[in-house]
Amino acid sequence: MKNKRVAVSIIAGVLAGIGIAAMLLISLPSDSDSKDNSVDAPVAQTNETANPSKSVADTNEAESVQSTMIDIKNYAYTPVTVTVKVGDKVTWTNQDSMRHDVVMDDDSAEGPNSELLAKGESYSYTFTKAGTYEYHCSPHPYMKATVVVEE
């Protein structure tokens, strides 16, 4: 009888222990979500899950950014008008022996402004604001073109 009662109390104790352990396990994930500064193990768990999701976000961002190429050839920008999205990069490459540049018509406005480009040289600008950007070549003001940047 005595042994049986001891056995029952041990089993009860083990079950209670399992119950407490289970409650702790259930409560841990919510603790890791709410307490980023916690010094406990959940911090490492948070960092592990944060890194993969960050790299996925980086990949998506890289895929969505477009790079548009404009040739400077025969004293003209080709295509003469391009339409891009905010965050997109535009690259001008001079194919002429004559040096050309890319300068905003309104020189006080934000936008592309390059040095003179020798043959084969490129200049890139990433548009961060929507708008219509009219530009020209400073040695040849008749060389005019437009970049339209949409949201």
Q: Which residue ranges make up the site for Co ion (CB under 5 A)? A: 100, 137, 140, 143
CB of 80 to Co ion, least distance (A): 14
CB of 141 to Co ion, least distance (A): 9
CB of 139 to Co ion, least distance (A): 5
Contacts of 20 (CB under 8 A, 6+ apart): none
Nearer to Co ion by Cβ, of 13 and 79: the residue is 79
Nearer to Co ion by Cβ, of 140 and 144: the residue is 140
CB of 33 to Co ion, least distance (A): 58
Q: Are 102 and 123 in contact (CB under 8 A)?
A: yes
Residue with tokens 């965050």: 87
Q: Report which residue type is found at 92.
A: W
Q: At what angle do helices 2-34 and 42-64 cross, to 10 degrees?
A: 40
Q: Are 101 and 136 in contact (CB under 8 A)?
A: no
Nearer to Co ion by Cβ, of 32 and 94: the residue is 94
CB of 96 to Co ion, least distance (A): 8
Residue nearest to Co ion (CB): 137
Nearer to Co ion by Cβ, of 46 and 93: the residue is 93
Nearer to Co ion by Cβ, of 42 and 103: the residue is 103
- Of 78, 98, 92, 76, the residue nearest 142 (C-alpha): 76
CA 136, CA 9: separation in Å to the nearest integer? 90
Query: Coil, helix or strand for 105?
Result: coil
